[in-house]
């Protein structure tokens, strides 16, 4: 693994489906905290949630799996992930 993968990785995670934000957003925040991930919600709507998430790549993978299963009142169809490029040049 590269050092970046072992330490901290930043990604934009886009969750698509029937995502009931009133229950899913607090759920996402709790699970990210349990995994020690930093997260910030960027977009939240009935069919899409986008969040920036940072931490070890393996834990972000775990977060994706948790979100795909989600709470009972949420139906996740697709999760897309894209690295967030570092702003340092």
Domain that holds residue 38: 3-83
Please state the rounded mean pLDDT for residues 40-54: 95
Residue 65 to residue 69: CA distance in whole angstroms = 7
Position 8 confidence tier, pLDDT thresholds 50, 70, 90: confident
Task: Give the domain CATH number at 53.
Answer: 3.30.70.100
- By three-state DSSP, how is residue 71 classified? coil
Please state the rounded mean pLDDT for residues 55-82: 95
Residue 54 within any structural domain of the chain: yes
Residue-wise pLDDT for 15-43, tens only, equals: 999 998 888 999 999 999 999 999 999 99
Q: Which residues does 47 contact at the CB level (< 8 Å), separation at least 6?
A: 16, 17, 18, 19
Residue 88 within any structural domain of the chain: no
Say what the pTM is: 0.85
Structural domains counted in the chain:
1
């Amino acid at each position: 693994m590269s050092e970046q993968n072992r330490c901290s990785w930043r990604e934009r995670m886009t969750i698509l489906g029937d995502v009931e934000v009133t229950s899913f957003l607090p759920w996402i925040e709790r699970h990210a905290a349990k995994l020690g991930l930093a997260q910030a919600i960027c977009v939240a709507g009935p069919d899409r949630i986008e969040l920036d998430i940072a931490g070890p790549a393996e834990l972000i993978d775990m977060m994706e799996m948790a979100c795909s299963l989600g709470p009972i009142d949420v139906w996740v169809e697709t999760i897309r992930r894209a690295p967030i490029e570092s702003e340092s040049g």
